[in-house]
Amino acid sequence: MAKYKIAWMPGDGVGNDVMDAAKIVLDAMNFDAEYVPADIGWEFWCKEGDPLPQRTIDILKQTDCALFGAITSKPRDEAHEELDPELKDKGLVYFSPIVKLRQLFNLHTNLRPCKAFPGNPLNYRDDIDLVVFRENTEGMYGGVEWFPLPEKVYDAMCDNPKMIHWKEKGLENVALSTRIMSKQGCESICRQAFNYAKTHGRKSVTLCEKPNVLRETGGLMTRVFRDVAKDFPGVEAWEANIDAICMWLIKNPQDYDVLVAENMFGDIVSDLCAGLVGGLGFASAANIGDEYAVFEPTHGSAPKYDGQHVVNPTAMLLTVKLMFDWLKEDEMAAKLENAIATVIKEGTVGTYDVKGRDNNPDSTLEVAEEVVRKL
């Protein structure tokens, strides 16, 4: 029997392409695992009205962790349009399967390293080494949304003197999304960020929030951050407003180290950080819970490149490295990261984003094969 059982979820679009690359590398490393394919994504929404079928949830429960490619998400009405005609007008509402997975398996922590590998021509600077800790189950992603609002809620809201002017807009014209955060959620993500900083010799943890406007949720997060910081005297605790940190990360990214944020701010700031180190082709991510984890590159499904094997597999391969870290396969993790770093440094093999379209770019699989040669 294999040492590990890994759920294998390519998902949509280029998710398949980059997972093909991952398989080449995993096999070359003789990683002792059984891979269990699991259905997820747009195809299953269109055909079955469910992008995350129950059979997939069952598979995940029987595996050690999951590798995931990418997902296509579309707004509500567009999603309904693409449903099988038999399933239309049955009240089915599209939801993002990855967001649901994070909530269902309580994958509370989204770890997103953004490191500039020397030699990458797309680096903003070569001395950037950021790690984003994004809270993964709460915030705007965990809040209720209404359009239109239930009358009771609308009336109760407009009863508040501060909200009275919303009455004039009329129930039919108002949509509401909410941000919800718990002390436990804030504490857990802050503690993990500080713990990581401490154990990895990092200098600082920066909280990215907006407590001057979002007084209750942002205020809670800020108080908890300060409390947790007291347990880590060796790590500097910095605070920044989310808008300001976006500016500072562009001006002086080398000054920052570990960043911590709630769900939506973490979503935004992690794409920004990815942009500093070569873009989404280099950004890996791990959704981590107490007992289970789903590893997925930060990038989306890029439907226009689906099946062409042209996109950069580096984000996916670095995601495999994160899986090795989580499984405590430290030697494999180091070996893989070194091989990826060597390929980037030599710069002879690279996809179109790195080499340019007119410069004979290599394919997704050729990059994976080059990584194998450097292992």
The residue among 99 and 375 lying less far from Mg ion, judged by its C-beta, is: 99
Q: Does 329 engage in binding with Mg ion (CB under 5 A)? A: no
Contact between 99 and ligand IPM by CB under 6 A: the answer reads yes
Asked if residue 135 binds Mg ion (CB under 5 A), the reply is: no
Does residue number 206 form part of the binding site for ligand IPM (CB under 6 A)? no
* 96 forms part of the interface with ligand IPM (CB under 6 A): yes
The nearest distance, CB 283 to Mg ion, in angstroms, is 9
- CB of 106 or CB of 252, closer to ligand IPM: 106
DSSP structure class, residue 176? E
Whether cis (ω within 30° of 0) applies to the bond prior to 148 is yes
Given candidates 138, 267, 329, 370, which one binds Mg ion under the rule CB under 5 A?
Answer: 267
CA-to-CA dists, residue 147 to 89, 151, 168, angstroms? 17, 11, 16
Nearest distance, CB of residue 72 and Mg ion, angstroms:
13
Give least dist CB 299 to ligand IPM, A: 9
Among 298, 314, 363, 364, binds ligand IPM (CB under 6 A): 298
CB 362 within 8 A of CB 21: no
Cβ density class 69-87: b for 16+ within 10 Å, e for less = bbbbbeeeeebbeebeeee
What is the total count of residues that contact ligand IPM (CB under 6 A)?
8
First-to-last CA distance in the chain? 25
- Sign of the CA dihedral running 325, 287, 42, 311: negative
Q: Give the sign of the dihedral formed by CA 304, CA 75, CA 177, CA 191.
A: negative
Pairing of strands 65-70, 258-261: unpaired
CB nearest ligand IPM: which residue? 96
Chain contacts with Mg ion (rule: CB under 5 A): 267
Chain contacts with ligand IPM (rule: CB under 6 A): 71, 73, 96, 98-99, 267, 298, 300
